[in-house]
Structure 1
Amino acid sequence: MISKSRALKIQRPSLSLLMSEPFRAMTELAGYSLGKPYSAKPGDGHPVILFPGLGADGRSVAPLRAFCNSLGYDAFDWGQGFNLGPKGDLDGWLDSIKSRIVDLLSDHTQPATLIGWSLGGFYARELAKLMAPHVREVITLGTPFNAEADHTNVGWLFRLINGSPLAYDPALSQRLRTPPPIHTTSIYSRSDGVVSWKTCCHLERSDLVHDIEIRGSHLGMGWNRDVLAAIANRLAQ
């Protein structure tokens, strides 16, 4: 976890880290594909819902979905296609997503784990606040929830998709920084070339929040072997 004083000195990742992201992500994908099978505790079959990052869809989380299913969980993506960011009123948009997620969980008796990658992690955290009885834990991958400005290298992509810059205000920042009232794990990397790793760490310590540092890229988190090992551990808790 990072201190409040250090949080004030946050800078976006260097361009060198950003430029190396595709190569590092491909290297991690090769390691995932060619590596030895994982040895993990068999899953209990509870549902796992995956939320992709900005500009991505269910295909980006396919390796993670396959991994969770191989462990014995029932994993599926959010079913909304490409993640183009919230539309219209945030609370109204979240309510509509909540209704769809509740429908996806209608055949399950166990609460779900929500796993969100980058922007998708914001959805997982905020939906967990609205769906507490239906959610057992939240896991985020490279999600900059602890930010008071645009400390990322993807502001241009958000503007391209939505036609307006990513805006932050104190109330929204405080809301996003506040974790849901359930077990919440943030997985981050100091070598993340897309978001500042400091924005992916909780400021306040709690028995319900956990920060796990891994070594890897932002674009490869969905198949990074250290990330998968951490996810397997959290799912089995």
Structure 2
Amino acid sequence: MSDEEYHIFTGKEEIKRPSKLLLLTELGRASFGLGAYFMSLPWLQFMPKGDEHPVLVLPGFMTTDTTTAPLRFYLKSRNYTPYRWKMGRNLANFHEIEEKIYDRLLELKDIHGRKVSIVGWSLGGVYAREIARRHPDAVRQVITLGSPFGGITGENNIEWIYEMVTGRKVSEVDHIPEEIVQNIPKAPPVPTTAIYSKADGVVAWQHCMEKKEGPITENVQVTGSHIGLGHNPAVLACIAERLNQREGEWIPFKHTTMGKLFYSHYF
């Protein structure tokens, strides 16, 4: 299939799947980013300590809790209480495991007696938004990392893996409940931060951001690969700052001191 067949038009904006160059350099860039992660850990320890509230971390498509280990390690070092999702490999079967994720969410809420923040990487972020939309009473805030909620069947470089694993075409969404398909682009009724990178080699970055920011929704741009977002120092610093806000006192990242000092060139 030609590149032209992957194009869509949204108003005046043409959205394409990421280039082959970005895709082919994903692993190398992510490996470099992992080195930057270890080198940046001392600096990242200067981020304010958290309030020990629980944070559920959801992995991306075809990955497991192992990939989120660096992120969870860092969150724990900043006095948060991170948790794995404990459901093995993410096989894009949300409609089958939704109740299990919700049970996990309620379990953590009951243990701590407070709402749970959810950090979702790639497809895990799509799950996080849907869970928060359905159960906002249990969710403190949602942070997504390169999650294509704006076009889950749109421009990407991973459809062949999805089709191989599920036996279904990405464009054929009949197996996904219509309610979920329609709601995916809609932001949940809780504070939501969408972190994305224009250098993403897996999914189109335009699908990983809110089309229009609102009072409790925002986009934060960083530089880096898709598969390196979970250990990207700029991402970790942003997550730590977002989680550090008191419940009920959420303000946009661009209005914070950190956002103005280190991320202002993206706004």
Normalising by the residue count of structure 2, what TM-score does the alignment of the two structures yield? 0.82
What one-letter code is carried by the residue in structure 2 that aligns with 1:103?
Answer: E
Shift of 1:86: 1.1
Supply the RMSD in Å over aligned alpha carbons: 1.9
Aligned counterpart, 2:118: 114
Q: 1:37 corresponds to which letter in structure 2?
A: W
Q: 1:129 matched to which residue of 2?
A: 133
Deviation at 1:6, TM superposition (A): 4.7
Match of 1:191 in 2: 199
What is the Cα deviation at residue 94 of structure 1?
Answer: 1.6
Mapped to 1, the partners of 2:154 and 2:133 lie a distance apart of 24
Helix, strand or coil at the partner of 2:90: coil
Once residues 105 and 171 of structure 1 are traced to their aligned partners in structure 2, the CA distance between those partners, rounded to angstroms, is: 26
Query: Residue 168 of structure 2 aligns to which amino acid in structure 1?
Result: S
* 1:58 and 2:62 matched: no
Unaligned runs of 5+ in 2: 1-9, 246-267
The 10-residue stretch of structure 1 (145-154 or 46-55) with the greater mean CA deviation from structure 2: 145-154
After TM superposition, give the deviation of residue 171 of structure 1 in Å. Answer: 6.1
- 5 Å-filtered alignment, 1:7-156, equals 9-35=14-40, 36-38=42-44, 39-86=46-93, 90=95, 93-147=97-151, 149-156=153-160
- In the TM superposition, what whole-angstrom CA distance separates every residue of 1:117-175 from its partner, at most 9, and x where no partner exists? 00000110001112211111000000011117431100011112111122348865431
Indicate if the aligned counterparts of 1:112 and 1:137 stay in contact, CA closer than 8 A. Answer: yes
Q: Rg bigger for which structure?
A: 2
Match of 1:214 in 2: 222
Which residue in the other structure is 2:232 paired with?
A: 224
**What is the rounded CA distance, in whole Å, between the counterparts of 2:22 and 2:206 in structure 1?**
15
1:101 shift after superposition = 2.5
1:80-130 CA-to-partner distances (Å, cap 9, x unmatched) read 11111116xx2x642332123312432111211100000000110001112
**3-state DSSP of counterpart to 2:140:** strand
Correspondence for 1:159 among 159, 163, 168: 163
- Calculate percent identity across the aligned residue pairs: 37
Pick 1 or 2: higher relative contact order, CA cutoff 8 A, min separation 6: 1
Cα distance in 2 for residues equivalent to 1:168 and 1:186: 24
**Any gaps of 5 or more consecutive residues in structure 1?**
none
Q: Distance in 1 between matches of 2:152 and 2:82?
A: 33
**Partners of 2:142 and 2:28 in 1: CA distance:** 29
Equivalenced residue count is 231
Taking structure 1 as the reference length, what is the TM-score of the superposition?
A: 0.91
Matches of 1:215 and 1:233 in 2, distance apart?
A: 18
Q: Which amino acid aligns with 2:91?
A: L
Task: Give the Cα separation in 1 of the matches to 2:163 and 2:153.
Answer: 15
Structure 1 position 204, deviation (Å)? 2.5
CA contact (8 A) 1:216 1:224 kept: yes
Q: Distance in 1 between matches of 2:180 and 2:146?
A: 19
